Amino acid sequence: MEAILSAAREVAIDAVKQAGQLAKQYFDQEKEIVEKDEFGDLVTIVDHKAEAIILQAILSRFPDHQIRSEETGWTGDEGDWLWLVDPLDGTNNYAIGLPVYGVSVTLIYRKEPVLGVVYESHLDNLYVAEKGNGATCNGVPLSMRKGSTLRKMTAGWIQGHQVQKESGAMALKHRLDQSFKRVLRLWAPSIQWCMLARGDLDGMVLYNSEGDDLYAGLLMAREAGAVILDFQGEPFEGMSPEPYIIACHPEHAEAFVEIVRQGVAEG
């Protein structure tokens, strides 16, 4: 397994850098933007070109591994190893010229994330997390910060595309707005998880948002010291098709769970 992880890390880092540099090159050019679903989510030519780079890199080294990618969907047969690929996380930002986007690749072993790589090419920030070995940004270890009082904290909010204006989500978001200094939603979840891991956010609440960017982010936060819980306050492990997640410093877990409990009850 160690040999596979070592090779996978090398492949993932090289692939995300290539894909991210492509995205940066196209940033001020014509992106051939189209809507891809009923919610107005967007896809660009860069999504497809970046995805092709990453898939080719993975398949050439690991032809027997299964892949789930944002645009192509499923490739290969089910087994112990699964790659998750989001070639341009933050497409809606990218399409309007907002440089908040990244490339996210995750390696899953028996439904547990073991490697997460996120590249923020506009700032040339490479984030790498490996199960049991910590998380880094450009080789520098990341550490979740403790924060102070809730009123002085900045929390992150992530919701799935399908959630839209669901009353339960809006009620919970309102409760978070009342509880924290600021609630940030970037529309680029992988970058937001990296902000949490490096200590620029104090916590995260995720409402039913399972995607190809999620598990690299969860691993990044966990390896930086965050506790990952479900809305009942129980440890969140593995994968879920409909995740509801709290991530924060362990010493603030009880307070975060109580705020979420209140918000859910109000919805």
Q: Is the pTM of this model over 0.75?
A: yes
- Count the alpha carbons within 13 Å of 110 in the hemisphere toward its beta carbon: 1
Does 70 count as an annotated binding residue?
A: yes
Contact, 42 vs 91, CB < 8 A? yes
Q: Is the pLDDT of residue 40 over 60?
A: no
pLDDT at site 222: 98
139 is written with which tokens? 């080789």
Q: What SS3 class is residue 68? A: strand
pLDDT in tens, 100-138: 999 999 999 999 999 999 999 999 999 999 999 999 999
Q: Determine the Cα angle at 139 with ends 133 and 143, to 5°.
A: 60
Does 166 count as an annotated binding residue?
A: no
Give the confidence band of 139 by pLDDT, cuts at 50, 70, 90: very high
Question: Element (H or E) spanning 140, and its range?
Answer: strand 140-141
pLDDT in tens, 159-203: 998 999 999 999 999 999 999 999 999 999 999 999 999 999 999
- Residue type at position 259: I
End-to-end CA distance of the chain: 45
Can you name the residues that pair with 74 across neighbouring β-strands? 68
DSSP 195-216: HHHTTSSSEEEEES---TTHHH
Does 89 count as an annotated binding residue?
A: yes
The strand order across the sheet containing 140-141 reads 73-75, 66-69, 81-89, 102-109, 112-120, 125-130, 134-137, 140-141
How many Å apart are CA 241 and CA 199, to the nearest integer? Answer: 28
How many Å apart are CA 67 and CA 149, to the nearest integer? Answer: 42
* 104 closest CA partner among 116, 96, 121: 116
Give the confidence band of 267 by pLDDT, cuts at 50, 70, 90: confident
38 is written with which tokens? 């009923």
Domains and CATH numbers, the chain: 2-141 (3.30.540.10), 150-266 (3.40.190.80)
pLDDT, the chain, mean: 94
